[in-house]
Structure 1
Amino acid sequence: MKGIDPAERLLKSLGVTEPHEIELEDIAFDQGAEIRYCDLSGCEADILGYRDRAIISIDRNRGLRRRRFSIAHELGHWHYHRGKKLQCRVDEYQPKHKQLAERKANGYAASLLMPHYLLKPRARDHQKLTFKTIEQFSSEFRTSLPATAIRLVEADIWPCMLICHTRQGRKWFAQAPMFHQRWFPQAELDPESSAFDAVFGQSEGDAHPRIIGADAWFDRAEAQRYELFEQVKCIGDDEALVLLTIKDDRMMEDEPERFGHRW
């Protein structure tokens, strides 16, 4: 099993071959942790460990999929950070500038809930990624829509980028490695994007992807040459997920020379 991460190695050692077999209470017990559901104030989850035993407290007032992510996140801390005092915050996306401990726990949670050895073969059966596909995976793996979308985008199967926007601007974004890093999304929404109407309460998003100019999302001169597939999904009163998919493969190539024939 060399080359796979600890969460996937654990799942394989337990004989997990289907998404419905990822029972977190049983996995926690195997790892010496007891799950307790209670009323928590100021946090969604907490872990208290001593030697090889731990108690993970989960806010019982959260939804099932949020509770599952919280359990998996705390199991990540149990794997990586035993004996360390941490101020834990459970967020399904942690920007790269956030503390390493939280990002590592999130990575463990994503692998535990949506292991690549189960997710990628299923994902490759889909020619393109849409929110309908994401919702199907969310249901099968019992994970939230944002967490599922991030995992599928970062699986690097399709040339996609996922952006979370609020009325205050871009909250975070994730992208497939094949989506060249020179494409950095603008902080503010362009009125041409259907995300603008979704965030400001004028629509619930798109049933299907639509075509939009890349310059609505990227402040680069070359963006004027390209179009993207855009699909928007509301996930709150003033929050939306935006799925961008490359339409022209040239967007995935290395940066063109300013004075060369490709510019």
Structure 2
Amino acid sequence: MNNLAKANAVRLINKYCFKSPKELINDLENMLYAEGLYIKEEEIYDCEGKILFDNNCGVITVDSLSDDKQKRFTIAHEAGHFFNEKGSGSYKCSFDEFYGSKRNYEREANANDFAGELLMHEKWFVEFTGSQKISYELLSSTAEYFDVSLSAVAFRYSIIGFHPIAVVMSTNKIIKWVSINKNFSYQFIRVGNKVSDLSYAYDFFENKEIPKYEDIPAEAWFKEDFKLKNRNARIMEMNIPMKKYNSVLSVLWEL
């Protein structure tokens, strides 16, 4: 996580005295307007959101056809460009910038870090999730509490959650990026590999019905990890389909 992006988000939370996610959500657009950002909605076909800004102000445009949770994260992401970079700029941010192969570009990653901290402030996130055992139910209730998508919560949890998990984004059967908590037993998944047919993520691309979560062989994802000594080892896999982009976010944790 980028420390400057995090600090920028925390500064806003403190400046406007937000005490809970609900307070922030209710006043998010008013707060950004007070900071010089105007938000508008229109149908967009080539990106999820865009921003035009200078040192003092900016205009954020979000896709009017997106659901409220996606709109909110897009707004926070675009605001991240304004607060992180200052100066002037004009960006269009597509699915690839948010979730796909371009996600690791520093500028976009920093904007995502800002959005993650603003919408799921670490202090609130840790207090809510606590030391509860990782599960689909925990991630779902956390997404509901912060009123964000399940995918946003999963990625956030992989960074600051109490229990180690791994998050994998795959598009068109190809692994695009990986985020693995440093305390996860296995640490290597090769980006660029095809999704293993031992995983339910593979079944998603085959247009088969998949469970919300199920245990699978650990080698489905960690076959090349030298720490995987026991080929009978199993892990839990939860998949979040993104059918519009022929993509799936896989969340993995140890049994």
Q: Same fold (TM over 0.5)?
A: yes
2:197 matched to which residue of 1?
Answer: 191
Deviation at 1:167, TM superposition (A): 3.5
Q: Tell me, yes or no, if structure 1 residue 239 matches structure 2 residue 243.
A: no
Task: Give the % identical residues.
Answer: 22
2:132 matched to which residue of 1?
Answer: 126
In the TM superposition, what are the counterparts of 1:32-43 in structure 2 within 5 Å? 32-43=36-47
Task: Point out the more displaced range, 176-185 or 110-119.
Answer: 176-185
Q: Tell me, yes or no, if structure 1 residue 55 matches structure 2 residue 63.
A: no
Deviation at 1:198, TM superposition (A): 2.8
| 1:193-230 deviation line (CA, Å, top 9, x unaligned) | 23222331222323x442x3322222135414262422
Distance 1:78 1:119 in 2: 24
| 1:206-259 deviation line (CA, Å, top 9, x unaligned) | 3x442x332222213541426242223241344333222134xxxxxxxxxxxx
Larger CA Rg, structure 1 vs 2: 1
Distance 1:31 1:7 in 2: 12
Q: Tell me, yes or no, if structure 1 residue 149 matches structure 2 residue 132.
A: no
Deviation at 1:181, TM superposition (A): 7.1
1:14 matched to which residue of 2?
Answer: 16
Structure-2 change in CA distance of 1:154 and 1:84 (3 Å): same
Q: Structure 2 regions of 5+ residues with no counterpart?
A: none
1:230 matched to which residue of 2?
Answer: 236
TM-score for the superposition, normalised by structure 2 = 0.83
Deviation at 1:126, TM superposition (A): 1.7
RMSD (Å), alpha carbons: 2.6
Q: Tell me, yes or no, if structure 1 residue 87 matches structure 2 residue 95.
A: no
Structure-2 change in CA distance of 1:170 and 1:152 (3 Å): same
Deviation at 1:28, TM superposition (A): 0.4
Distance 2:47 2:249 in 1: 24
From the two aligned structures, give the one with the greater helix fraction.
2
Structure-2 change in CA distance of 1:173 and 1:220 (3 Å): closer
Amino acid at match of 2:175: R
Q: Tell me, yes or no, if structure 1 residue 161 matches structure 2 residue 169.
A: no
Structure-2 change in CA distance of 1:42 and 1:188 (3 Å): closer
Deviation at 1:107, TM superposition (A): 0.8
Deviation at 1:119, TM superposition (A): 0.6
Structure-2 change in CA distance of 1:165 and 1:31 (3 Å): same
Structure-2 change in CA distance of 1:34 and 1:184 (3 Å): same
Distance 1:125 1:182 in 2: 22
Distance 1:236 1:50 in 2: 34
1:78 matched to which residue of 2?
Answer: 82
| Residue 24 (structure 1) aligned to one of 16, 24, 28 | 28
| Residue 174 (structure 1) aligned to one of 164, 176, 179 | 179
Q: Tell me, yes or no, if structure 1 residue 107 matches structure 2 residue 113.
A: yes
Amino acid at match of 2:60: I
TM-score for the superposition, normalised by structure 1 = 0.81
